[in-house]
Amino acid sequence: MTIQLGQVAPDFEAETTHGKIRFHEWLGNAWGVLFSHPKDFTPVCTTELGETARLKPEFDRRGVKVIGLSVDSLDRHAGWEADIADTQGHAVNFPMIADPEKKVAALYGMVHPEADPSITVRTVFVIDPAKKVRLFMVYPPSTGRNFDEILRVIDSLQLTDGKKVATPVNWRPGDRAIIPPSIPDEQAKALFPQGWEAERPYLRWVEVKA
């Protein structure tokens, strides 16, 4: 299945390390991050899961629920989580989906046969409270993800949804934003009474707070 931006994330039922869930029900009104792992007891994934556990307070602060997926069974997940806590110094503190039949992986297009038909690629989906897919990133199995970037994108999405702005290259929270060209100056005056700097008619910089 091909997932596209703006599409409602497919719902599913699955067994996880925190019990059986229905995905949409589990998400509730929160933002969500669903990310896949090629299989258990793999070195790159071990570092990723430890880092996600370390960053969980940052996800919580943004109202984001995190859930992982691996195409192995729950009993293997349990053994792997012990290794993660031991080697990374942070115990996994979010659910991990067991997907030995690759049903969820297939539903979300996480298996790329030309890369390796036996494993999932490192896919990340960011899903908003309306259950719509707002971002997906696909990494090769050999490359670990950058979770600072995932948090940065979530910050951007939450800011741009709330303030009707766009964020420029390498934007970080606290940096100035851009007024989209779709908002004419007259409307912008009401939305941004603090004013803005027009470097070009289409490039209007504005200071906004989250």
Catalytic residues: 45
The neighbour count for residue 166, using CB atoms within 10 Å, is: 16
How many angstroms separate the Cα of 1 from the Cα of each of 34, 106, 112?
16, 7, 11
Backbone angles phi, psi at 143, to 5 degrees: -115, 125
Q: Please choose, from the candidates 29, 96, 88, 21, the residue with its C-alpha nearest in 3D space to the C-alpha of residue 55.
A: 88
CA pair distance 109, 187, nearest whole angstrom: 40
CA 87 to centroid of chain Cα atoms: 24
CA pair distance 131, 7, nearest whole angstrom: 8
Give Cβ neighbours of residue 152 (< 8 Å, ≥ 6 apart). 171, 172
> Helix, strand, coil proportions of the chain in percent (round to 5)?
30, 25, 45
